Chains A and B, each alone.
Chain A
Amino acid sequence: SGELNCSLPSPRNVHFESINMKNVLHWSAPEGTGNGVLYKVKYTVYGVGKWIRKPECRNINRTWCDLSSETSDYEEQYYASVKAFLNGTCSDWMETTRFNPLTDTKIDPPMVSVSSTDRSISIILTAPEKWKRSPEEESISLLQVYPGLQYNVSVLNKKTKKRWFFSISNNTLVVPWLEPGTAYCVSAQIHVTTPLLDSDFSKEHCITTLKDK
């Protein structure tokens, strides 16, 4: 593009949005440009000498580009960059900050399943899986990625509004000495101490303990 005149303002706020290591590059259109702007994207592994173009994100008019596949090795760190084109002019490349998939991803809440007896409820929690290229690819639980992963569990007695909090490392919890025939609502969050990562709390799963025998 050496022959093009690069006086177009650059794309703005170029950054990765990452959930469970699904890493998508996002940006905003250059200031003052309406429709018709096209973009191309490149990325590099930090410490390695070359920038690599992303063919699927060449001459695109959308303002995002999925780089999950290219940034799936979470033992590496990355930069990505975007360039804009409009009516024969172009912008400079605009880069992200250094992206570390391990620390810069957001984690979804755990899956929660609940069962009950008359005086207890059993809770089974499942951590989300790391993003993967295809369903056939082997699943990697985020538990394997973050050895220090824990669960914070909230249990609410719907009748008395009394709430308990538990912090557990394994994925099952039995809450004993409950009242028969009473509704309890369970919600759980993932907590990684270091690097510090907290998911949101899951939506509530309510169950009623069996009536007294």
Chain B
Amino acid sequence: LGACRVSMSMTEVRAGFTAIKANIQSRDPIRTLSILSHPHSLHKVKSSDRCCITHQLFTFYVDKVFKHCRTEDSFVNRKISSIANSFLSARRKLGQCHEQNKCVCGEESTEKFKQILANYEGLNVTSAAMKSLGELDILLDWMEKSR
């Protein structure tokens, strides 16, 4: 992510999400709203803003998503907490980069993240969190493509 080096096992996070994707997405009946991809697509983010957007999104998932996604299924819950742990350690590293000015937030990423929060706050917390979790592959696809 530019000057900021963050290591996270994408393969593990991917595998964890793939294992629960159908379960989580089936809990989200809303087709007409996306938290991450509309109206602005992550794929349109400038490379200079990538680190900041990633940091903001990891903070978003840690603070606003994972904790509101408990299910009645212990297998799903275990996978969610495993993904959350990966995000937690990556977020910590991103935070350090931010403090060292290696992860500067431009206007575009601030605007983009505002839109994501607005999408999130347009739903009740549990629906918003479950929808966000169901969109994790959108975030992972974008991160892998722009590695």
A interface residues, Cβ below 8 angstroms from B? 44, 46-50, 75-77, 79, 97-98, 100, 102-103, 147-148, 193-196
**Cβ of B18 under 8 Å from chain A:** yes
Instruction: Determine the distance from Cα of A118 to Cα of B10 in the docked complex, in whole angstroms.
Output: 43
B interface residues, Cβ below 8 angstroms from A? 10-11, 14-15, 18, 22, 25-26, 31-34, 37-38, 41, 43, 134, 137-138, 140-141, 144-145, 147
Q: In the complex, what residues of A have CB within 8 A of residue B145's CB?
A: 147
Instruction: Determine the distance from Cα of A135 to Cα of B69 in the docked complex, in whole angstroms.
Output: 46
CB pair A98–B134 under 8 Å, yes or no, is yes
Q: In the complex, what residues of A have CB within 8 A of residue B11's CB?
A: 193-194, 196
CB pair A75–B43 under 8 Å, yes or no, is yes
Instruction: Give the tally of cross-chain contacts (CB within 8 A).
Output: 58
> Which of A76, A98, A147 makes the CB contact (< 8 A) with B144?
A147
Instruction: Determine the distance from Cα of A194 to Cα of B144 in the docked complex, in whole angstroms.
Output: 8
Q: In the complex, what residues of B have CB within 8 A of residue A195's CB?
A: 14, 18, 137, 140-141, 144
CB pair A148–B141 under 8 Å, yes or no, is no
Q: Indicate whether A47 sits within 8 Å of B32 (C-beta atoms), given known contacts A103-B18, A193-B11.
A: yes
Q: In the complex, what residues of B have CB within 8 A of residue A44's CB?
A: 31-32
Instruction: Determine the distance from Cα of A181 to Cα of B126 in the docked complex, in whole angstroms.
Output: 68
CB pair B25–A47 under 8 Å, yes or no, is no
A-B contact pairs, 20 of them (CB 8 A): A44-B31, A46-B31, A47-B33, A47-B38, A48-B32, A75-B41, A75-B43, A75-B141, A76-B37, A77-B37, A77-B137, A98-B25, A103-B141, A148-B144, A148-B147, A193-B11, A194-B11, A194-B14, A195-B141, A196-B11
Interface of B is mostly: helix
Smallest CB gap from A81: residue in B: B31
Instruction: Determine the distance from Cα of A64 to Cα of B43 in the docked complex, in whole angstroms.
Output: 31
Instruction: Determine the distance from Cα of A98 to Cα of B137 in the docked complex, in whole angstroms.
Output: 11
Smallest CB gap from A98: residue in B: B25
Nearest-neighbour CB distance to chain B for A78, whole angstroms, equals 10
Instruction: Determine the distance from Cα of A100 to Cα of B38 in the docked complex, in whole angstroms.
Output: 15
Q: In the complex, what residues of A have CB within 8 A of residue B22's CB?
A: 97
Q: In the complex, what residues of A have CB within 8 A of residue B41's CB?
A: 75
CB pair A147–B147 under 8 Å, yes or no, is yes
Instruction: Determine the distance from Cα of A11 to Cα of B59 in the docked complex, in whole angstroms.
Output: 42
Smallest CB gap from B147: residue in A: A147
Q: In the complex, what residues of B have CB within 8 A of residue A147's CB?
A: 144-145, 147
Q: Indicate whether A47 sits within 8 Å of B34 (C-beta atoms), given known contacts A103-B137, A147-B145.
A: yes
CB pair B141–A47 under 8 Å, yes or no, is no
CB pair A49–B32 under 8 Å, yes or no, is yes
Q: In the complex, what residues of A have CB within 8 A of residue B43's CB?
A: 75
Instruction: Determine the distance from Cα of A103 to Cα of B13 in the docked complex, in whole angstroms.
Output: 14
Nearest-neighbour CB distance to chain A for B119, whole angstroms, equals 9
